[in-house]
Structure 1
Amino acid sequence: MTIEPVTHERYVARHRTLGVRRRRWERKYRVVLLVADAVAAAVAAFVIHGAYGRWSVALAMPPAWILAMCAYRAYDRSALGLGTEEYRRVLRGAVALPAMAACAYWWFAHDHELFHDMMIAVLPAAVLCLACRFVLRIRLHRRWSRDRDRSSALLVGPSHSVVELVAALRRGGTQELQVTGVCLTDPVNSAAVSSLGIPVRGGLDDVPAVIHTTGSNTVLVLPAAEIDSTVLRRLSWIAAAEGADFLLAPVVADIASARLVTRPYNAVPLLHLRAPALSKTRRLPKEVLDRVVAGSLLLLLAPLLAVVALRVRLDSPGPVLFRQLRVGRNGNQFTMFKFRTMREDAEDYREELAHLNENSDGLLFKMKEDPRITRAGSTLRRYSLDELPQLINVLNGDMSLVGPRPPLPEEVSAYTSEVRRRLLVKPGLTGLWQVSGRSDLPWDEAVRLDLGYVENWSMGMDVAILLRTAPAVMRGTGAY
C-alpha cells in the first residue's frame, strides 16, 4: 500500500477550490465567549468603581481580562467545549491578572491600590466567566446529541483498534467526533467494523479520495504496522490539503490528557507519559480533605443517621450496623460499616442463590430481586443510604470519599496482577464505578473504570465524581 505525496500545486489548488473546512460552531462559540468575557469583566469593573470610585482601573479591567484569557489560550479550539481544560485556562488567566497588575504597578502606574483592586475584580469576573462557559458547554453538548455541529471523522487503522476506539467513544457519551467512515489497513476484516454500523470505505490507498468525497473534517489515525513515519507524514499532508484536522490516537488507552506531554529530544517530538499520582505527598491534600469532610458530614447528618438506624431496628431483628471485612490500600484489611439491609442470616443462603447471580461474568455477587433484602433495606439501597456509615471508615483513614469499590478478601484472592492495581489507592464511598451504572455494569467495565481512576487520579477528577454522585443516587440506576 502506498500513499502518494501531496505536491505544492495540489495543495494550493485544493485550498483554492474547497477552502479550509472549519467547524461553523467554533466561530459562533468564540464570539459568544468573547462577549461573555467582556460582560463579566465589565461587571467586575462596576464592582471596582462602585466600591472605590476608581474609573481608571475599571476601564482597564475589560481589555486586561480579555488579554489574560488570550494569553492562556482560553479561546483556543483545542479547549472549546471540553469543560475541565477550558475552566482550567480561565482560572490560570484569572490568577495571572493580579500578577500583571503588580508588574504594571512596579514599572508604570506606581499606584499601590492597583493590585488590591484587581484582586477584588478577579473573583466576580472568574465566577461569571465559568458560569457562562458551563451553560454554553451544556448547550453545545445538547446540539451534539442531536447530531448538529459535530465533526465528521474518518478513522484510519487496523480493524481491532477501530472497534476498540469506537467502543471507547460511545462509552464517553455525547462528544464532538462523529465517525462517518473507516479506511482499514486490513480490509479483509471489515465485517467486525461493519457490525458497528460504520461504513468501511476502503483501504489505506483510498484515504485521499474518501476524505475528498465524504467531506470529512477530521482524520484520526490509529497505530498500525502498515503506517510508518513516511505514510503518516503523507497522510498529514493530505489532511492539510483537504482542510481537515489530523489526529493521532496513542497506543495506550484510558489515559488522561493531562498525563500526556510532548517533549522534543534533538528535534524529535516524543510523547511523555507521566506516572500516576500515587505518592503520599501528592495525595496529602486528598487525605486531609477526606477526613475534614467526613467528620463534618457525620455531624451534619447525625439526625438522618439516627432515623435510619431506628428504621432498620424496627424493620427486622438483628444489629443496626452490618460489619464486613474488606480490603483497602496495599491489601490492608479493615472492617467496613453499613446499615444492615438484609436478614441477619443472609450469608447462610448465599450458596443457594449463587446460580441467580446477575454478575456471572465477574467476581461480584448481585441480584436484582434478592429475597434476603428487608423492606427497609430495599429503600436504603435504592438511595445508597445504607453506605452512609462508611463515613466512619473515611474518618478512620481506611477509606476515601472517592475511590474504587472496597472488595472482599475472596474477591482479591482471585484478582489478576492487573486488577490488583485497584489496591494502590484507598477504596471509596463513591467512584467512577458507582456513578456510571453500579451493579448494571459488567465486571470488565467496572475494572476498566477503577483502573482508569487509579491511573489518572486528580483532585479535579474527585470533584467531578462527587458532583455526579447525587444525580446517580437519585436515579437509583444499578442500585440493588
Structure 2
Amino acid sequence: MVGAMTIEVTHEPVEVERRRPQARRRPWERKYRTVLLVADGLVAVTASGVIHGAYGRWTVALVLPPTWIVMMVAHRSYDSGVLGLGAEEYRRVLRGALTLPALAGAVYWLVTHDPALLHDMALGALPLAGLALPARWVLRRRLHRRWARGRERSSALLVGPARAVLELVAVMRRGGAQELQVTGVCLSDPENASEIRRAGLPVLGGVGDMTDVVRALGIGTVVVFPSEGLDSSVLRRMSWTAAAQGVDFLLAPMLADIAAPRLAVRPAGGVPLLRIKAPRLSGAARLPKEALDRCCAAVLLLLLALPMLLVALVVRLDSPGPALFRQQRVGRYGDHFTMLKFRTMRPDSEVLRAELAHLNQNSDGLLFKVKGDPRITRVGAFLRRSSLDELPQLLNVVRGHMSLVGPRPPLPEEVEGYPPDLRRRLLVKPGLTGLWQVSGRSDLPWDEAVRLDLGYVDNWSMGLDLSILARTGSAVVRGTGAY
C-alpha cells in the first residue's frame, strides 16, 4: 500500500511563482497583530504620560511611543511563532523593556547629550513593562476564550500512523484552548482506522488523499508524522503541495511531550537537526523555585493560620480522632517524609481499605481511589471537594520536603511497584498542586497521570509552575476529580 502512495504537486514551478496561493492559515493572526500594535501604542502613550506627569517634560511623550513600537518590532514580538501561546512573547517584551535604557544611553552619548531625556527614557522602561505584559496577557486570554468557543481556529488535517496521531491528540486535548481544530485524519496505516474513529476523529482517507481533502474541506494546517513510508522525498512533495495551496505544513516530533522551549534547530552539514535541550534538574537551576516555594508557603501559613485552626477544630468535633492525618510519602530521590493533611476519614480507614479494594476507581494503575468512599466523614467530604485538607502540606513545603508545584506525592508501596521509567518522577520534589490536579485529579486514568508527571519533570520551568498555580484556583472551584 505504501508503494502505491502518490502525492499530487502543482504542475509547474513557473505557475506556482506567478500565482500567489490564497492563504487559509491562522484566520485570527492579522487582526490579533493589529490589536497588539494598537495596545502597545496605548501602553507607550500611557507610560509617557506617567513620566510627563512626574517630571513635566514633553520630549518623552513625543519620543517614547514610536521608540517602543520600534523596540517591539526589533525584538520580533509580533512574529507568528510567538503569538497566542507560550512564554516567548512575554520574554521578548521584557527584553525590549530592558534594552530601552541601553538605547537611551547610546543616544545620549552619541547624539543629544541631554541628561533629562536619558533619565526619562530609562525610567520609562518600568511602566512600559508593567503595562505591556498585563495587556498582552488579557488579549491572549480573550483569544483563548474565542478558541474555546470554536471561533477563529485553524482547521487541521493530521497525516501519519494511527498511534502517533492518537498520542498528539491526547496531548492537545489536555492542553486547554488550542488554535488547531482537528478536522480529520489521513492514515498511513488505514488498517487501524477503527482506533481513530473510537477517539471521535473522522478518517478521511490515506496519505495519497491529502491533496483532495485539503481542497475539499478548506484545511488551513497539515500536520504530518514522519514514519515508515513517509521518507524525505515524500515529505518534500507534501510540503510543496501544501505551499501551493496556501496551507501551513507542520512536522510533528516523534516525542509529543516536549515543551516548545526545549526544541531548537541545530544545523549540521547543511541539514537542520532538531535539538532537544536537557531537562533543568540541577540544584542551581531550581534554586529560585526553592526560595519562592518556602517564602510563599511561609507567608500563606501566616495568613491562613486562623482558618486552619478553625478547620482543625471542626474536624475534631465532627468525628473522633486527631485533626491532622500523618502518612509516610516518598519525596525527591526516594527519601521518605511525613506528609500532613487534615483528617478526612475515620480513624480505622487503613484497616477498611482491603475490604474496599474491589471498588478502586484506578484499577488500571497503582493509585487507590473510591468514589463515595464510606470511610470519608461528613466534614472530610467537604474538605476534599474544596482541597482544604491539603493546607497543612504548606508545613511540608516550608520544611523542604515538598514544593508548591510538582508530581503527586506517592506512597512507599506505590513506589515499590514503579517501573524504571516512572522512577524518573522522583527526580523532583512532590507538589501541593501539579499538572495532575489542574487536569482532572482522580478522574485521570493511570497512564495519563504518569504522562503528566513525567512531562512536568522533563519540561519544568518557572513559567510552567506559575501557569499551574494560576490554573489551580479554577480546578479547586470546579472540584473535578476531588474525592
| TM-score interval, normalised by the smaller of the two chains | over 0.9
Per-residue displacement from partner, 1:88-113 (whole Å, max 9, x unpaired)?
22222222222222222232222334
Q: 137, 140, 144: which is aligned to 1:141?
A: 144
- The corresponding residue for 2:110 is 107
Q: How does 1:206-285 map to 2 (within 5 A)?
A: 206-285=209-288
Q: Secondary structure at 2:481's aligned position in 1?
A: coil
Q: Is the 8 A contact 2:174 2:439 kept in 1?
A: no
Which stretches in structure 2 are left out of the alignment for 5+ residues? none
Taking the aligned partners of 1:166 and 1:21, their CA distance within structure 2 comes to 22
Taking the aligned partners of 1:20 and 1:313, their CA distance within structure 2 comes to 66
- The corresponding residue for 2:14 is 9
C-alpha spacing 1:273/1:108, structure 2 compared with 1 (3 Å): same
**Residue 426 (1) aligns with residue 432 (2):** no
Per-residue displacement from partner, 1:21-80 (whole Å, max 9, x unpaired)?
353322211111111110110011111111112222221111111111111211111222
- One-letter identity of the residue aligned with 1:397: G
Q: How does 1:84-123 map to 2 (within 5 A)?
A: 84-123=87-126
Taking the aligned partners of 2:285 and 2:303, their CA distance within structure 1 comes to 29
Q: How does 1:50-449 map to 2 (within 5 A)?
A: 50-82=53-85, 84-449=87-452
C-alpha spacing 1:343/1:19, structure 2 compared with 1 (3 Å): closer
- The corresponding residue for 1:470 is 473
Q: Secondary structure at 2:114's aligned position in 1?
A: coil
Q: 46, 50, 57: which is aligned to 1:47?
A: 50
Taking the aligned partners of 1:153 and 1:33, their CA distance within structure 2 comes to 25
Give the TM-score normalised by structure 2: 0.94
Taking the aligned partners of 1:14 and 1:203, their CA distance within structure 2 comes to 28
State the shift of 1:429 in Å: 0.8
- One-letter identity of the residue aligned with 1:75: Y
Of 374-383 and 196-205, deviating more is 196-205
Taking the aligned partners of 2:441 and 2:201, their CA distance within structure 1 comes to 29
- One-letter identity of the residue aligned with 2:17: V
C-alpha spacing 1:372/1:191, structure 2 compared with 1 (3 Å): closer
Once superposed, what is the RMSD of the aligned Cα atoms? Answer: 1.8
- One-letter identity of the residue aligned with 2:370: M
- One-letter identity of the residue aligned with 1:24: P
- Structure 1 runs (4+) greater than 4 angstroms displaced: none
Q: Is the 8 A contact 2:59 2:117 kept in 1?
A: no
Q: Is the 8 A contact 1:14 1:242 kept in 2?
A: no
- One-letter identity of the residue aligned with 1:350: R
Which stretches in structure 1 are left out of the alignment for 5+ residues? none
Q: Is the 8 A contact 1:83 1:137 kept in 2?
A: no
- One-letter identity of the residue aligned with 1:380: L
- One-letter identity of the residue aligned with 1:261: A
Q: Is the 8 A contact 1:83 1:134 kept in 2?
A: no
Of 363-372 and 6-15, deviating more is 6-15
Per-residue displacement from partner, 1:303-338 (whole Å, max 9, x unpaired)?
112111211222222222211111000000111111
State the shift of 1:13 in Å: 5.6
**Residue 38 (1) aligns with residue 41 (2):** yes
Q: Secondary structure at 1:182's aligned position in 2?
A: strand
- The corresponding residue for 2:27 is 24
- One-letter identity of the residue aligned with 2:296: V
Q: Secondary structure at 2:226's aligned position in 1?
A: coil
How many correspondences in the alignment? 478
Q: Is the 8 A contact 2:369 2:442 kept in 1?
A: yes
